[in-house]
Amino acid sequence: MIKANYVWFNGELIKFDEAKIHMLTHTLHYGLGVFEGIRCYETKKGPAIFRNYEHIERLFHSAHICYMKIPFSKEEIRKAIHETIKANGFRNCYIRPIAFYSSGAMGLNPLNNKVDVAIICWEWGAYLGEEGLNKGIRCKVSSFNRHHVNVSMTKAKVCGNYVNSQLAKIEALLEGYDEALMLDVDGYVTEGSGENIFVVRKGVIKTPPATGILEGITRDTVIRLIKDLSLEFKEERITRDEVYIADEIFLTGTAAEITPVREVDRRVIGDGMPGPITKKLQDLYFKVVRGEIDKYEHWLDYVK
């Protein structure tokens, strides 16, 4: 059970146990809400939110795509995130801002309803498990395709988009896998149910272009690290068979961090354990988010 002391709701901190909403909340019925997933890590200078500005910017972009007006400024949301973490006394936590249409009118037009904004945070360990992080996970190519770019807005973190992700995730879990890999309608590999994908073959690291995928901030971080390490990198379409014969595969996301993949559709990937490039990037990523490398300290927003 997720537990916290306080939740931020429309400008004030309220008790976690009292953070309740009406059953006619428009977004509950129709899914037009936008959210973010952010992490705060303990560093030697205190807790720091990783790439907070970029996450808040994406929240506003998601809203913009959905015709939604968030009734707070970016800076107000940023301050509210700090306030919520401090009120709960967390040192390491996951942060979930969400903007959604409140109750009032029903029917598919949400625009006459008020936009509510909440920020919830809680202590959350490795999303795909501590063992997954260390030894790698098993994935299944989903029978569900990732949204076509003109069916759902793939660059927005919209609540309703995650029905597709959940179908894929549930299917993978029921079949004994840890995570789903989703193909686009043309059959090219896009991403996991909530993580971007990187594939390594013969020393070259590849990730699909940011067309039909969610433009992950972790993806962007990893690309920066790859470039700074002068590793060979390509942003290119990836086929399903290319995944099977990869030397290494890893998934990236704020929740999943950098999680190695050791098997896809009962084909062992590489040696069946996290490869050297994956381990190197994972190691570096954890140092970066924990403020251990000065060069990347500008990505940290210290909790004040």
Ligand X SMILES: *Cc1c(COP(=O)(O)O)cnc(C)c1O
Catalytic residue ranges: 157
Backbone angles phi, psi at 158, to 5 degrees: -105, 130
Task: Return the sign of the alpha-carbon dihedral for residues 208, 148, 221, 277.
Answer: negative
CA distances from 155 to 218, 219, 287 (A): 14, 13, 28
For ligand X, the closer CB: 194 or 291: 194
Q: At what angle do helices 217-228 and 52-65 cross, to 10 degrees?
A: 130
What amino acid is encoded at 204 in this protein?
V
Q: At what angle do helices 74-88 and 52-65 cross, to 10 degrees?
A: 130
Q: Which of 187, 188, 183, 207 has the alpha carbon at shortest distance from 197?
A: 207
For ligand X, the closer CB: 113 or 207: 207
| Contacting positions for ligand X (CB under 6 A) | 37, 157, 165, 191, 194-196, 214, 216-219, 252-254
Tokens 């003109």 — which residue?
A: 150
The three-point CA angle 255-2-292 to 5° equals 40
Tokens representing 184 are: 């686009």
- Least distance to ligand X, CB of residue 207, Å: 11
- Least distance to ligand X, CB of residue 137, Å: 15
- Least distance to ligand X, CB of residue 228, Å: 18
For ligand X, the closer CB: 97 or 216: 216
For ligand X, the closer CB: 116 or 195: 195
- Least distance to ligand X, CB of residue 139, Å: 14
